[in-house]
Each structure stands twice: as structure tokens, then as C-alpha cells.
């Protein structure tokens, strides 16, 4: 709470207005799902970055959060969540890569049940501290290897991965419920990354390659 008070004080009373401007920029860039836009607008992004970066929290850019990780660009967060939700009602979701907790907070504004897994224990504890004041009763955090998913809570209606894998994690595909969707960045041979959407149907998985993106690499194991 002290962190929340300190960062809010540094921004005066402008954060809500600034968030609204950010939402309008996302709408102008093509985000159409009003549920996603409302969730992005509801979460105070400045609470999830270091105080020195708080003044840049509502720019449409990724920012460093320590441990070689970043808080994702708001447009990319919105784009990934819109892909999960188009023509669907939100159910349960798994986030792979909690990071600072920002995207988990946005997910908790959209989905009735959210599980989020992070491999770096110290970063997970930071996320817990960042999220504490928001009192999100539908969010569960776990320390673990993202490649292994979260079998105890599977199957998931939606899975979103916040790091670029060199291959599709088969375990995550298997934890998708029938009719489920997973969106993740995948790294191609040349090093370029693209968002890929997987949809599970009665015959297997439908794969759609989408936007170019840039994420930190998805690592194996716990740290």
C-alpha cells in the first residue's frame, strides 16, 4: 500500500485521465473489444513499474522490470487478450509469465478465474506485492516452469504466454480444453517472432500465424 500511495502521489490526479488517453490510442490502433479496452483502462499500470519509470507507464511501450524481463506493451497485451475473447465469453485462463503482475491484473478484470505462473521466484514475490492492494480474489499465482503449465488447474479455456518460445509447448496445448484457445509469441529460425493463435477443435489444433512481436525468451525450469 505504501508503494501504491508513493507512486500515485508522484502522478498527482492524472492517472485515470492518462489511462483513458491510452485506451483511446489502443482503439485508434485497431483494438475493438470493449471488454478488453475497459479492463486495460481499469488497471493502474504505474503501480507495476519502478517509481523512476512511473511517468512513462501509460506510453505504448514495454518497460524493464528487472531480472532481464519487461512489462509488455499495452497494445500487445490488448491484442493477445482480444484474440482469446473474440466471439467468446471468458471462462478460466492460464497466464504463463506473471512478470510484474500487470497482465494478470488485466486478466482478472476480464476472466472469472485466472491462474498465473512465473519461473523467477523473486519476480513472483514482487508481483504479489504489486497486486496486493488490488485485492483480486479470482487470481491465483504459482511458482513453476511455464513449459509444464499448471496441470492441477487444467484444462483451461484460454492460455496466454508472455515470453517467446522456440517451439510450441506441447504440454500447454494438452492443457487446453476442447474449444480452447492459446496465444503466444513463437521465435522463427531467423530470430523473428510472431504471435500465433492455436484453437483446439474436435480434430486437433488450428494454427494461425499473426502479428510480428518482440518478447523476452521463454526459459525452461524454475529460478
pTM, two decimals, is: 0.92
How many other C-beta atoms lie within 10 A of the C-beta of residue 68? 11
Q: List the catalytic residue out of 20, 55, 72, 109.
A: 72
The string of pLDDT tens digits covering residues 63-83 is 999 999 999 999 999 999 999
CATH superfamily of 66-213: Vaccinia Virus protein VP39 (3.40.50.150)
**CA dist., res. 105 & res. 130, Å (int):** 10
Say whether pLDDT at 7 is over 70. Answer: no
**CA dist., res. 93 & res. 194, Å (int):** 21
The string of pLDDT tens digits covering residues 87-136 is 999 999 999 999 999 999 999 999 999 999 999 999 999 999 999 999 99
Residue 61 banded pLDDT, cuts 50, 70, 90: very high
Say whether pLDDT at 8 is over 50. Answer: no
What is the SS3 assignment for 36-64?
HHHHHHHCCHHHHCCHHHHHHCCCCCCEE
**Is 158 part of the annotated catalytic residue set?**
no
Domain spans of the chain, in order of start:
66-213
Amino acid at each position: 500500500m505504501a508503494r501504491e500511495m508513493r507512486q500515485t502521489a508522484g502522478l498527482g490526479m492524472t492517472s485515470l485521465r492518462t489511462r483513458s488517453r491510452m485506451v483511446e490510442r489502443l482503439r485508434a490502433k485497431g483494438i475493438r473489444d470493449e471488454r478488453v479496452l475497459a479492463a486495460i483502462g481499469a488497471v493502474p499500470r504505474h503501480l507495476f513499474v519502478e517509481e523512476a519509470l512511473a511517468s512513462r507507464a501509460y506510453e505504448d511501450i514495454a518497460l524493464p522490470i528487472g531480472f532481464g524481463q519487461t512489462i509488455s506493451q499495452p497494445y500487445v497485451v490488448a491484442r493477445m487478450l482480444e484474440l482469446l475473447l473474440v466471439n467468446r465469453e471468458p471462462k478460466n485462463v492460464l497466464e504463463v509469465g506473471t512478470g510484474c503482475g500487470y497482465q494478470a491484473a488485466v486478466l482478472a478484470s476480464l476472466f472469472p478465474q485466472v491462474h498465473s505462473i512465473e519461473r523467477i521466484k523473486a519476480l513472483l514475490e514482487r508481483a504479489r506485492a504489486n497486486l496486493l492492494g488490488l485485492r483480486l480474489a479470482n487470481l491465483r499465482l504459482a511458482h513453476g516452469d511455464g513449459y509444464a503449465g499448471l496441470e492441477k488447474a487444467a484444462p483451461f479455456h484460454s492460455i496466454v504466454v508472455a515470453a517467446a518460445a522456440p517451439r510450441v509447448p506441447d504440454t500447454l496445448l494438452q492443457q487446453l480444453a476442447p474449444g480452447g484457445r492459446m496465444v503466444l509469441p513463437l521465435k522463427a529460425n531467423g530470430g523473428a517472432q510472431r504471435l500465433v493463435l492455436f484453437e483446439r477443435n474436435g480434430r486437433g489444433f488450428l494454427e494461425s500465424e499473426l502479428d510480428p512481436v518482440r518478447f523476452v525468451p521463454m526459459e525452461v525450469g524454475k529460478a
